[in-house]
């Protein structure tokens, strides 16, 4: 029964993204609780997380859609039908009391660990993807339970809000072959990105599952869309070396509509009526760069990656320190053994990560344990998380 309540709570925070909201109170510019919404939609796989959130220069085909579209230029075939991934944050808080990780008691422990600033409790991802001949088509959706604490209101006194993201991505990559085993890959990805999020919900809801139905009926929402573009470039060199650059989330402005209630949303889901509250906000764009090396053999295939996040922001910071440098630096490595076992490790914004993958032809399982920085500087507010991803398909 407790597991059923936990599932209902997760769906509550997602589906209540179909109720309504006061525009002036829920825009990212006016309310810090929603500041995380300006972050571009990037559903990172367990492989990327296990490798320290790297991959700009060594993107796997299943990561093409949100890491670097230039990887489509390999023209190789990949089919995922589907992939499902779950991530739990505050993992230490969830298991410190013992018992079932997915019990209601563990969720209460997780919420009790909410600190200053914004973070997450969990997210669920599902997706379909297909790549062949340089083209790529992907469909992804993510449900997120976000947290926010401030002014001494932490733990169960903090705030939650649900977030639903969905995207349809279409991309193309092309390879320019050069002499001496050099080549240049270019790629572009355009997506229709949908966002819906609820108004603030008290974190104590996790200890009162009987309130779920009432929350579904009363929590307001904002919903809207953007059409962002990613542009990527890879320079492939002899002996497995590569350089990569990607401009991410260009044209990332969201056009949102507010609704007075669930019934109004059903009558006008596209927000076309003049009485509907409307606003817009920009989600961040970034210019990321990476260096990579990989070697393929039948018994062991190592990969090393070094990425620099948001290099424009890194360069314009006048008081740039070593701590700031670590905030922008990600390092990762992967070794594939006998074509079916992947061992991964990395360093992301100063936090280490570990990952494993098991590839049984059409069935693949990946896990990762990591820490993610939710603060503005390295070491400010890192949350531990555990990701499990199951993928059915073909990726060779």
DSSP 309-326: S-HHHHHH-TT--HHHHH
Two tokens, residue 39: 């972050």
State pTM to two decimals. 0.87
* Residue 293 φ/ψ, nearest 5 degrees: -145, 135
Give the up-direction half-sphere exposure of residue 220: CA atoms within 13 A in the CB hemisphere.
18
What per-residue confidence (pLDDT) applies to 101? 60
What per-residue confidence (pLDDT) applies to 205? 66
Closest CA to 73 of 87, 83, 59: 59
165 membership: H or E segment, kind and range: strand 159-177
pLDDT < 70: residue spans in the chain: 1-24, 61, 96-113, 116, 151-157, 203-218, 260-266, 268-276, 317-318, 396
What per-residue confidence (pLDDT) applies to 155? 62
DSSP 261: S
What per-residue confidence (pLDDT) applies to 213? 58
CA 121 – CA 138 distance, rounded (Å): 26
Structural domain harbouring 283 = 2-395
What per-residue confidence (pLDDT) applies to 4? 47
Domain harbouring 17, CATH code = 2.40.160
What per-residue confidence (pLDDT) applies to 20? 44
Give the up-direction half-sphere exposure of residue 284: CA atoms within 13 A in the CB hemisphere.
17
Two tokens, residue 111: 């919420």
What per-residue confidence (pLDDT) applies to 10? 55
What per-residue confidence (pLDDT) applies to 19? 45
CA 59 – CA 76 distance, rounded (Å): 13
Domains contained in the chain, number: 1
What per-residue confidence (pLDDT) applies to 18? 46
């Amino acid at each position: 029964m407790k597991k059923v309540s936990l599932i209902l709570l997760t769906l509550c925070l997602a589906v209540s993204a179909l109720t309504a909201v006061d525009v002036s109170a829920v825009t990212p510019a006016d309310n810090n609780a929603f500041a995380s919404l300006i972050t571009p939609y990037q559903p990172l796989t367990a492989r990327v997380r296990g490798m320290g959130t790297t991959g700009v220069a060594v993107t796997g085909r299943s990561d093409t859609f949100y890491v670097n579209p230039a990887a489509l230029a390999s023209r190789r075939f990949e089919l995922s039908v589907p992939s499902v991934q779950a991530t739990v944050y505050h993992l230490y808080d969830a298991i410190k009391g013992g018992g079932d990780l997915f019990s209601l008691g563990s969720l209460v422990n997780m919420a009790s660990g909410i600190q200053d600033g914004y973070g997450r409790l969990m997210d669920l991802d599902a997706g379909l993807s297909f790549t062949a001949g340089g083209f790529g088509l992907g469909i992804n959706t993510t449900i997120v339970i976000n947290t926010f604490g401030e002014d001494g209101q932490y733990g169960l006194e903090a705030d939650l809000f649900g977030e639903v993201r969905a995207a349809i991505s279409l991309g193309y990559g092309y390879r320019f072959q050069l002499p001496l085993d050099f080549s240049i890959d270019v790629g572009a990805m355009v997506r229709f990105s949908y966002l819906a999020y609820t108004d603030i919900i008290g974190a104590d809801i996790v200890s009162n599952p009987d309130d779920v139905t009432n929350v579904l009926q009363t929590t307001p929402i904002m919903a809207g869309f953007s059409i962002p573009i990613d542009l990527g470039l890879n320079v492939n060199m002899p002996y497995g070396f590569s350089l990569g650059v990607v401009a991410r989330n260009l044209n990332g402005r969201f056009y949102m509509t507010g609704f007075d209630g669930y019934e109004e949303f059903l009558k006008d889901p596209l927000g076309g009526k003049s009485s509907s509250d409307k606003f817009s906000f920009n989600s961040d764009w970034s210019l990321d760069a990476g260096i990579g090396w990989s070697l393929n053999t039948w018994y062991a295939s190592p990969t090393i990656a070094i990425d620099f996040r948001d290099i424009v922001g890194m360069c314009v910071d006048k008081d740039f320190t070593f701590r700031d440098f670590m905030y922008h630096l990600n390092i990762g490595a992967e070794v594939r053994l006998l074509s079916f076992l992947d061992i991964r490790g990395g360093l992301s914004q100063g936090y280490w990560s570990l990952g494993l993958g098991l590839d049984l032809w059409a069935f693949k399982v990946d896990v990762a344990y990591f820490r993610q920085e939710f603060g503005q500087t390295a070491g400010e507010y890192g949350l531990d998380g555990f990701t499990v991803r199951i993928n059915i398909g073909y990726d060779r």
